[in-house]
Structure 1
Amino acid sequence: MKQHAGTRALVGMLALALTVGIAVAGCAPAAVDSIRPAAVDDVLPIYADIVVNENLAYGERDGQPLLLDACQPADAAASALNNGPRRAVISVHGGSWRSGDKADPAWRNVCEWLASEGFIAFSVGYSLAPGHPFPAGIDDIRAAISWLRAPEQVEAYGYDPALIGAFGGSAGGNLVSLLATSGAGPWDVGTRVAAVVDLSGPIDLTTAGLDMLPDGFAQRQLDYLGCADYDRCDAAAAASPNHQVDPSDPPQLIVHAEDEYIPAAQGQLMADALRSAGVPVTLETVPGDGHSLELLDDELRGQIVEFLRGALR
């Protein structure tokens, strides 16, 4: 366990727009997936008085532990920031389902930022394709929710197990949207969640969505789906959140940029499916070509916090 003291938030926020597009694997082009500036750790915000408990095992796959990091305010009284009970939020990194890391500086920043707002945040690592194709990743995310609902974690971190939300970007946005639409019924049991924030998530992984995606992304999807082609790929619909929607699903906040890598039309597909089922949804399209965490300016951070506090109550 470690505690960050002091803050370089101002420097970090000014540099974030320049660095996070490289720091975050997201669903970015192959040349960008695993490259980031050596100095990125020095420019991302470090939030004061946040405790980070790293590499907690929430399950295992192929004999290897599945790990997450927990971020929380050092002072329990900080839960007052939530104007009520303590809530838990998982964050799910991007990387075209094949790369990325829960502890990447940009995603560690997300974990600490959510904790600085009074949430108990959990940055989740999950199995990656092509070695572990669908449904391995979403099964791991569901396992993390089950772990969060166990009495041991609830007691250790002091959150309400009925109030669990999810935040994801790019491939992580797809996964949290699929988490939200998987299954049916109450949001406070099993692997259900009560609110989802999706930044730049690819939504329809079937052939119907291909013309909305950039060149070369179809092969990444096939690798993730474990399919040789789309003609014989039942996993494509199963991995598409808009194909799983029902009226019992939780509210979502979906955000895309106007000219980004994963087009806003993908978010529109999800919003249309949710609205048709009577599920509350907010779709925001912001100017520019930012992708995933690149969208996180002060205004959007405030909107996300307001959404999560309102939905998790």
Structure 2
Amino acid sequence: MPHHHTLPRRLSTALVATTVAAVLALSGCTGQPQPQPTNAGGLTESNLTYREVDGEKLGMDACLPADGDGAAPAVILLHGGGFVEGNRSSSGMDDLCVWFAEHGYAAFPTSYRLVPDYTYPSQVEDVAAAVQYLRDPAQVEELGIDPARIGVLGSSAGAIIALQAAMAGEGALDQGSRLGAVVSLSGVADMSEDAVDLGEPSPEAVSLMLAYLGCRAITSCEGEAASPLTQTDPTDPPALLVASQHDLVPVEQAEVLDSALTAEGVPHELIVLLGSGHGSQLLTEKVRGSILTFLSDHL
């Protein structure tokens, strides 16, 4: 039986019904050349249980840098799949995990609960639990990570969850479940009724977004309360927003969040690529370089 939650006011609904249809299409890598690695890394831990809910164990894998100087910054990786499918190995997350480790980061492809059995905010709660798990002293010591530097990267549906988790809460970014930086690949910022006017979201995308929010119709849905757009404040973490001109998620979604973060004085960058790439398809060589520069500067 689906677990429907009351939408908390702090979690705004900026995840417009335009993201999910596109999400189903992002399961592969781009095939683009990658920057040369600076460290040797690889999958060193698998199926680490970070949370158990209703008898279901939620896990993550770990790719750790082989030669790090001190504690490594950590990046949680969230897959796409329209909220209804996919796992922590899909959407190119396995390859991205190793790539991060090769460049000095500890990366953690992370599972989260899926629709229809679980609706929002279950997925955001899972990410919060994953952050707290990585901050636990036992994990910090075993995995060699810096608990003050934990970021998140999400693709498509995962980008929506990443933005919601990153914009939730206020205050110091190195405590509790707060995140130090967020990278969004085709994320949605506005899930309110007004979001249908941002670009041209498809009916299928709207349907998937409503299913994620646990709603039957957009007119009766509290999407505004779940939107990253309405959660922004000056203490939000630095954000890297990546989209394409003809993305399955209208580029207007990234642009409206770009404006909101500017108004709040939050460090951020917006990258809009030519074409119609979506989610992990946006990981060109240039974008990967931008991600490394962004994380080096802010995490």
CA distance in 2 between counterparts of 1:266 and 1:202 reads: 6
Unaligned runs of 5+ in 1: 1-25
CA deviations over 1:213-249 (Å, ceiling 9, x no partner): 2232111111110011123222x12221011111111
Asked if structure 1 preserves the Cα contact closer than 8 Å seen for 2:41 and 2:63, the reply is no
- Give the structure, 1 or 2, with the largest relative contact order (CA under 8 Å, sep 6 or more): 2
Sequence identity (%): 37
CA deviations over 1:32-56 (Å, ceiling 9, x no partner): 55987xxx9xx999x9641331111
Equivalent residue, structure 1, for 2:289: 302
1:273 to 1:280, Cα distance in 2 relative to 1, 3 A: same
Q: Do structure 1's residue 250 and structure 2's residue 237 form an aligned pair? A: yes
1:224 corresponds, among 180, 192, 212, to 212
Equivalent residue, structure 2, for 1:106: 92
- Give the C-alpha shift of residue 311 in structure 1: 0.3
Question: Which residue identity is paired with 2:151?
Answer: G
- Give the C-alpha shift of residue 119 in structure 1: 0.4
CA distance in 2 between counterparts of 1:51 and 1:44 reads: 21
Equivalent residue, structure 1, for 2:167: 181
Asked if structure 2 preserves the Cα contact closer than 8 Å seen for 1:44 and 1:109, the reply is no
CA distance in 2 between counterparts of 1:292 and 1:55 reads: 24
CA distance in 2 between counterparts of 1:238 and 1:157 reads: 35
Question: Which residue identity is paired with 2:129?
Answer: A
Equivalent residue, structure 2, for 1:60: 52
Q: Do structure 1's residue 191 and structure 2's residue 184 form an aligned pair? A: no
CA distance in 2 between counterparts of 1:67 and 1:208 reads: 36
1:112 to 1:289, Cα distance in 2 relative to 1, 3 A: same
Equivalent residue, structure 1, for 2:140: 154
1:55 to 1:208, Cα distance in 2 relative to 1, 3 A: same
SS in 2 for 1:162: strand
Equivalent residue, structure 2, for 1:6: none
1:49 to 1:181, Cα distance in 2 relative to 1, 3 A: closer
Aligned residues, how many? 274
Asked if structure 1 preserves the Cα contact closer than 8 Å seen for 2:183 and 2:239, the reply is yes
Asked if structure 1 preserves the Cα contact closer than 8 Å seen for 2:26 and 2:91, the reply is no
Equivalent residue, structure 2, for 1:214: 202
- Give the C-alpha shift of residue 28 in structure 1: 4.0
Worse overlay, 250-259 or 96-105? 96-105
Where do 4+ consecutive residues of structure 1 move more than 3 Å? 26-30, 32-36
Structure with more helix by fraction: 1
Give the TM-score normalised by structure 2. 0.86
1:118 corresponds, among 96, 100, 104, to 104
